[in-house]
Amino acid sequence: MTTVQANPDISRSFKEIVTQNGFKFEEHLVTTKDGYILHMFRIPGLQSEGETNGAKKVIYFQHGILDSADCWIMHKSQFAPAFIASRAGYDVWLGNTRGNKYSKDHQGSISNYDRWNYDFEVMGDLDITAEIEYALKVTGQKKLAYIGHSQGTSQMYYALSHNEDFFAERVSVFVALGPVMQLTHCKSSLINFFATFESLIVNSASLIGFYEFFPAGWVTTGAMRLLCGTIPQLCEFGLYLITDEDPSLNDADRTPVYLGHFPSGTSLRSLDHYGQILNSKRFQRMDYGSSKNKQIYGENTAPLINLQNIKKVPIAMFVGTSDQLATVEDNRWAKTQLSTLTHYKEYALGHLSFMIAKDMSYFTTDVMNILHQYHPAN
């Protein structure tokens, strides 16, 4: 009988995968204006290189919902986006949003409710601004290229729509992979479940004081088991979680590696916000109810996130034809709203395929061409 050995990358740390593939690794702590301590990872180059600090152009990678910086190095070394960028001569920085397995700390005393009271708007206002400023300060570079996936695109679209001057001074190009804005045609089981049973989920979670969803090791997390006992359907999605992948598109050897590092946790509010967007059929800000909306926004309804406000930062969109979360239909709508769109193409990819596809030419060829055009390596 032949014994199948599990891929060691399933249990390796981010640092171990990076260094064992011949790259340098650094970890940096970045504190946001509201006190969250975010762990940023840096791949400054190959171990065979000399000192290069400040000499290379910076690329900043931002992961999606329930994910972490791990996603960018889950594929084989020659296909992992972070490694491709590093070999091409870029200084690679990778963010970890508040609340994921790497960025749970806070510098002050904070209640459990307040700790998890965030969504992609807060990340766009506070997390990516702090991480971008930090990376540019350390390297001495004036601008960086931003590559986001899933929620990593939502937070940048939101940020650009109302604070574009800040980013226009610091971001040379925004590469959006599996872009998530309007969710009218979303087929994701988890997001649709949130949209259908929003009140039940929010009320049940509030009753037991549990606001962290699908943390790393969630199957064995006591509080998550309690919530699953209250709403069993919530946890029946198992490995599908948000994306309902077509496994035939992905590298079968790397799928277990990816799932060994996923999920990494998010907040109830983050999932709830996407459920609201699906229900409202518009890309909108968080809906707190008419009374609180009036206090926060000055109007009873949650305002639209207006993509037509984006006038300066070039945007390149990469859309998967088998993506059940960021669908072709919704992204074709988004395409009509963006005046700075420089690239739009649909690929035979699912939502997670952007990390572990059999065919990664979308990145090795097309993304790299965009980078060479708008943010060439030195």
3-state class (DSSP) for residue 357: strand
Contacts of residue 363, defined as CB under 8 A and 6 or more positions apart, other chains included, come to: 79, 81, 84, 354
* pLDDT at residue 191, as a whole number: 85
| Rg of the chain (C-alpha set) | 20
Higher pLDDT, 215 or 73: 73
Query: How many of the other CB atoms lie within 10 Å of CB of 277?
Result: 28
Q: What token pair was written down for 338? A: 């963006």
Share of the chain above pLDDT 90, in %: 74
Q: What φ, ψ does residue 237 adopt, rounded to 5°?
A: -75, -20
Element at 180 (helix H, strand E):
none
pLDDT at 294 over 90: yes
Query: What's the whole-number mean pLDDT along residues 157-182?
Result: 98
The pLDDT-based confidence of 239 (bands split at 50, 70, 90) is very low
Which class is 14-374 in CATH? alpha beta
pLDDT at 242 over 60: no
- The pLDDT tens digits for 357-375 are 999 999 999 999 999 999 9
User: Do strands 58-62 and 36-43 pair parallel, antiparallel, or not at all (unpaired)?
Assistant: unpaired
User: How is 256-295 classified by DSSP, letter by letter?
Assistant: HHHHHS----EEHHHHHHHHHHHHHTS-B-----HHHHHH
* pLDDT at residue 260, as a whole number: 81
**Residue 214, Cα to own-chain centre: how many angstroms?**
15
pLDDT at 48 over 60: yes
Q: What token pair was written down for 209? A: 């004081």
CB 340 within 8 A of CB 167: no
pLDDT at 225 over 60: no
pLDDT at 234 over 70: no
Active-site annotation, residues: 150, 323, 351
* Of the candidates 257, 265, 262, the residue with the CA atom closest to the CA atom of residue 356: 257
* pLDDT at residue 43, as a whole number: 98
Higher pLDDT, 198 or 350: 350
Q: Domains of the chain: which residue ranges? A: 14-374
* pLDDT at residue 10, as a whole number: 86
Query: What's the whole-number mean pLDDT along residues 89-115?
Result: 95
pLDDT at 356 over 80: yes
Residue bearing tokens 């590093």 = 86
* Of the candidates 186, 253, 212, the residue with the CA atom closest to the CA atom of residue 7: 253
Higher pLDDT, 323 or 215: 323
- Rounded to whole angstroms, the maximal C-alpha distance in the chain is 69
- The pLDDT tens digits for 191-211 are 888 888 888 888 888 888 888
The pLDDT-based confidence of 219 (bands split at 50, 70, 90) is low
Model's pTM, two decimal places? 0.94
The pLDDT-based confidence of 263 (bands split at 50, 70, 90) is confident
Share of the chain above pLDDT 70, in %: 91
pLDDT at 281 over 80: yes
* Of the candidates 289, 8, 5, 267, the residue with the CA atom closest to the CA atom of residue 113: 267
Contacts of residue 332, defined as CB under 8 A and 6 or more positions apart, other chains included, come to: none
Query: What's the whole-number mean pLDDT along residues 328-355?
Result: 97
The pLDDT-based confidence of 111 (bands split at 50, 70, 90) is very high
User: Do strands 91-94 and 58-62 pair parallel, antiparallel, or not at all (unpaired)?
Assistant: parallel
Query: What's the whole-number mean pLDDT along residues 214-226?
Result: 62
What average pLDDT is seen over the chain? 91
Tally the C-alpha atoms within 13 A of residue 245's C-alpha that lie toward its C-beta: 22
Residue type for position 95: G
Which stretches of the chain are assigned E, i.e. beta strand? Answer: 26-31, 36-43, 58-62, 91-94, 105-106, 144-149, 171-177, 212-213, 266-267, 315-320, 341-347
pLDDT at 14 over 60: yes
CA distance 78 to 43: 15
Q: Tell me which of 62-71, 253-262, 287-296, 334-343 is least confident.
A: 253-262
